[in-house]
Amino acid sequence: MHTRTLAELAAALRDGEFSSEELVGHFLDRIEALDAGLNAFVTVTREEALRAARLADSARAEGQAGPLTGLPIAHKDIFCTRGVKTSCGSRMLDNFVSPYDATVVARLKAAGVVMLGKTNMDEFAMGSSNETSWYGPVRNPWGHDKVPGGSSGGSAAAVAARMAPAATGTDTGGSIRQPAAFTNTTGLKPTYGRVSRYGMIAFASSLDQAGTITASAEDAAMLLGAMAGHDPRDSTSAEVPVPDYLAALETPLSGIRIGVVKEFFDEGLDSDNAAAVGKALEVLRGLGASVEEVSLPNLGLSVPTYYVVAPAECSSNLSRFDGIRFGYRAEDPKDLTDLYKRSRGEGFGAEVKRRIMTGTYVLSAGYYDAYYLKAQRVRQLIAGDFHRAFENADLIVGPTTPTPAFDIGAKVDDPVTMYLNDIYTIGVNLAGLPGISVPCGFVDGLPVGLQIIGTHFDEGRLLNAAHMYQSETDWHRRVPSGMLPESG
Ligand code: GLN
């Protein structure tokens, strides 16, 4: 069962090949068998999942099933889930049981989706390797000594190892697309405002966006249709109608103009990665798309700009975790100041502290204009670059990451090298655009991702191009060896 896509599992449920209870039980058993070696889950909600699956089966028996009814997925542990621990990968929230569901969770639940559990992640979504989690690193199913990417590394590893057919993720600077590239999964980061952020623990509010990690673009289309749309509880969620993403998947690509970003292929890109992306471009051309070069001249400024804007916003968002209003509380404080200091000192890990300090610095009087305001201006320049590139292209395509997955431990002590991992993804967040990473090959047994970027709210075309590419290729079908054989 587990090698099938969500769409195939939906069809099997519809045809009565197996029940949701059997399906959910199968994935729960896989988590039990495989997760000890991968550490992709923080919490597994076995009993709740089986109960929800039985309810889904009853709904189906009564003719009440929708397209997603009874399908299991995992949620990144950044989404609030009612009655279930929501840790955000941090000691700060290790004992937090959310009293409500995030909109993403609520909408999927209302569509009949069954939650298998909550996935491991970089602490407060800050990281590119899943090594900053309070719960320890996640291992890449394609090589246990490799990182799965971050921050949605638990979700990506869970889907790659087929412990869940699909998972949610969030992407502030690449956290869906980069782990998808590292694990041979399909990672969709929608347009900023496409999916509600209500109940999604905030990192950098002007960049954060919820999306999916799946086995195919079709699966992403299925889930996005249920997740997307205006939410009065998130003032930045857009009042833009949600199209039928599935209906547009097979639209021919003839006449589509693809822009290949010149700067993406400058130094820093692994040559084998570049070759895999080059082959993918040939496939897209074969599907009828025209391919031309475009330029994003300010691309080199995107990482430094992000590392001013994101820390600034996070320093503000994370100020609520003070041991009194929210979060871990240190024991036996001497006085109030000691309580604040030790609660935050003990509750947050090193990377989060680094970001809070950077953010506080760039927002402080005297430095605000020099750093924060300047970064906001450069952000506009980067958005303008994309805008101009889209005058000559319907989609922008390039690699998702400069290299395949790296070794666990290789970059943890070198933040700048770690930050540069996101060079191809961060600009997309700064401009608020949608992007998707799809598997496009392997280098030394490790997956490589192709990134497709679209204009605002054009997820339909992104999914269409990704789906057409996947109907011509089978990279996304490959699963890592060492997974248990198919059963049931
Ligand atoms: N890797 C980037 C960072 O560390 C992006 C993280 C994300 O998208 N949540 O901030």
Is 45 within the bounds of a domain? Answer: yes
Ligand 1 atom at shortest distance from the alpha carbon of 421:
1
Is 117 within the bounds of a domain? Answer: yes
Q: What is the pLDDT of residue 485?
A: 54
Identify which of 126, 189, 317 to mutate to test ligand 1's pocket (most ligand atoms within 8 A of the CB): 126
Ligand 1 atom at shortest distance from the alpha carbon of 152:
9
Amino acid present at 53? A
Domain span holding position 137: 6-252+452-477
Mean pLDDT (whole number) for 207-218: 98
Q: What is the pLDDT of residue 162?
A: 98
CB atoms within 10 A of CB 103: 24
pLDDT band at 487 (very low <50, low <70, confident <90, very high): very low
Distance (Å) of CA 321 to CA 49, 340, 344, 405, 470: 30, 9, 7, 32, 43
pLDDT single digits (tens) 178-199: 999 999 999 999 999 999 999 9
Distance (Å) of CA 351 to CA 90, 126, 202, 348: 11, 7, 16, 8
Is 126 within the bounds of a domain? Answer: yes
Residues labelled catalytic: 76, 151, 175
179 lines ligand 1 (CB under 6 A): no
Ligand 1 atom at shortest distance from the alpha carbon of 150:
1
72 lines ligand 1 (CB under 6 A): no
Identify which of 170, 208, 351, 422 to mutate to test ligand 1's pocket (most ligand atoms within 8 A of the CB): 422
Is 17 within the bounds of a domain? Answer: yes
Residue with tokens 């060492």: 482
- In angstroms, rounded to a whole number, what is the distance separating the alpha carbons of residues 420 and 426? 10
Overall pTM > 0.85: yes
Q: What is the pLDDT of residue 268?
A: 87
Q: Cβ distance 128 to 150 under 8 Å?
A: yes
CB atoms within 10 A of CB 407: 12
Q: Cβ distance 385 to 300 under 8 Å?
A: no
Phi–psi pair at 192, nearest 5 degrees: -55, 125
CB atoms within 10 A of CB 83: 12
310 lines ligand 1 (CB under 6 A): yes
pLDDT surpasses 60 at 408: yes
Residue with tokens 């949620």: 75
127 lines ligand 1 (CB under 6 A): yes
Distance (Å) of CA 316 to CA 110, 209, 305, 350, 364: 33, 18, 17, 17, 12
210 lines ligand 1 (CB under 6 A): no
173 lines ligand 1 (CB under 6 A): yes
Ligand 1 atom at shortest distance from the alpha carbon of 429:
8
State the distance from the centre of ligand 1 to the C-alpha of 152, rounded, in angstroms.
9
Which of 136, 132, 138, 127 lies closest to 171, judged by CA?
127
Q: Whose CA is nearest to atom 10 of ligand 1?
A: 126
Is 124 within the bounds of a domain? Answer: yes
pLDDT single digits (tens) 20-69: 999 999 999 999 999 999 999 999 999 999 999 999 999 999 999 999 99
CATH number for the domain including 195? Answer: 3.90.1300.10
Which of 106, 83, 111 lies closest to 233, judged by CA?
106
Identify which of 132, 155, 175 to mutate to test ligand 1's pocket (most ligand atoms within 8 A of the CB): 175
Amino acid present at 14? R
Q: What is the pLDDT of residue 389?
A: 98
Q: How many domains does the chain have?
A: 1
Q: What is the pLDDT of residue 482?
A: 74
pLDDT single digits (tens) 281-316: 999 999 999 999 999 999 999 999 999 999 999 999
For the sheet with 186-189, list strands across it. Answer: 41-44, 114-119, 72-76, 166-170, 210-214, 186-189, 435-443, 446-453, 395-399, 257-261, 290-294
Mean pLDDT (whole number) for 192-215: 98
Record the tokens describing residue 193, joined without a space.
């405002």
Identify which of 78, 79, 122, 168 to mutate to test ligand 1's pocket (most ligand atoms within 8 A of the CB): 122
- In angstroms, rounded to a whole number, what is the distance separating the alpha carbons of residues 140 and 159? 11
Q: Where are the beta strands (DSSP E) in 48-113?
A: 72-76
pLDDT band at 488 (very low <50, low <70, confident <90, very high): very low
State the distance from the centre of ligand 1 to the C-alpha of 211, rounded, in angstroms.
14
Mean pLDDT (whole number) for 225-231: 98
Is 269 within the bounds of a domain? Answer: no
Record the tokens describing residue 146, joined without a space.
């490799």
pLDDT surpasses 70 at 377: yes
Q: What is the pLDDT of residue 289?
A: 98
Mean pLDDT (whole number) for 447-474: 98
Average pLDDT, the chain: 96
Is 431 within the bounds of a domain? Answer: no
430 lines ligand 1 (CB under 6 A): no
State the distance from the centre of ligand 1 to the C-alpha of 241, rounded, in angstroms.
28
Comparing 46-60, 215-229, 263-277, the range with the smallest average pLDDT is 263-277
pLDDT band at 484 (very low <50, low <70, confident <90, very high): low
Whole-number percent of the chain with pLDDT over 90? 96
Is 304 within the bounds of a domain? Answer: no
